[in-house]
Amino acid sequence: MTNISADQLSPSQILLLRGDRFVHQRGKLVLPTGASVSMQAMAEKLMTVAFLACAAQNIMELQIQTQETLFGLWTVQKLLVIPHTTDVPWPKTSLEARLTQLAAHLLPENRCRVQSLVHVFLGEDSPYPWRQIVAIAQGGLVAQGVLAHIDEAHWSMFEHRKKLHLARPTCGSLDDLDCTVPEALLVHYAQATPQIWHRLRQEIAWGIGARNKRPHPLRENRQRRIKLINEHRPFNRF
């Protein structure tokens, strides 16, 4: 049985696989270890580690910018992303690689606010954008063969649910997965650069929250009823 090596994964991917060591809030996100953690807390920590990993490798720079507003009556701080390169030492499907490519190709004047980059990264509004970030991270591991979709024998009224498990060749090897890199990133930036640490977490939360748009309940119920009617309508042969 092949073990999962930390050298083949990005820091955010390691965090997702061993999320119970990093996220202590209980929730509905079931990890490959079997533990259940908060989807929102996991999504925000995944993005935090991805940004910190890129900054630590000098792939991008995180820089606080202070601006005066209203004739200098008060100041506003922003955390900017300044990309340096698109070469990353991690899989192309990782959050780190995706953020790096987006920063390099979409940022005006090679700099952008973290909040804006997260907002663009998500692409569109959704009722629960935190789930989208986790799904993107999981999808990267599926593409690498580390995770696999396995159908559950469970049907709801509207969908057949799928659950992510470790792919068979690597199943059972998570206990030996080295979590040193993401742990060191979180500890180092929290202690060495507390301003950047605080601002990064804040702007990630703002960027994700700006995509949190719930559809009008009446419109949503109407669309659900129409879908059910169409699915159960007998086939018209004439």
Each residue's pLDDT tens digit, 5-20: 888 899 999 999 999 9
Does the CA dihedral 91-92-94-100 come out positive or negative?
A: positive
DSSP-based three-state secondary structure for 132? helix
The pLDDT value recorded for residue 166 is 64
Separation CA 225–CA 232 (nearest Å): 11
Per-residue burial over 138-149, b = 16 or more CB atoms within 10 Å of its CB, e = otherwise: bebbeebebbbe
175 pLDDT band, cuts 50/70/90, is confident
pLDDT digit string, tens, across residues 68-126: 777 767 788 899 999 999 999 999 999 999 999 999 887 666 678 999 999 999 999 99
* Of the listed ranges 145-149, 172-176, 207-211, the one predicted with least confidence: 172-176
> Does the reported pTM lie above 0.85?
no
CATH class for the domain made up of 6-232? mainly alpha
> How many other CB atoms are found less than 10 A from the CB of residue 26?
12
Residues 49 and 192: their CA atoms lie apart, in Å, by 15
The pLDDT of 143-162, averaged and rounded, is 64
Q: How is the chain split into domains, by residue range?
A: 6-232
Average pLDDT over residues 141-149: 87
Residue 158: what pLDDT? Answer: 46
CB within 8 Å of 127: residues ≥ 6 apart:
212, 213, 214, 215
Spell out where the chain has E strands.
29-30, 36-37, 60-69, 74-83, 112-113, 147-155, 160-166
Q: Please state, in angstroms and rounded to a whole number, the distance separating the CA atoms of residues 31 and 14.
A: 12
Q: Answer whether 128's CB lies under 8 Å from 38's CB.
A: no
pLDDT at position 232: 59
Task: Name the residue type at position 75.
Answer: T
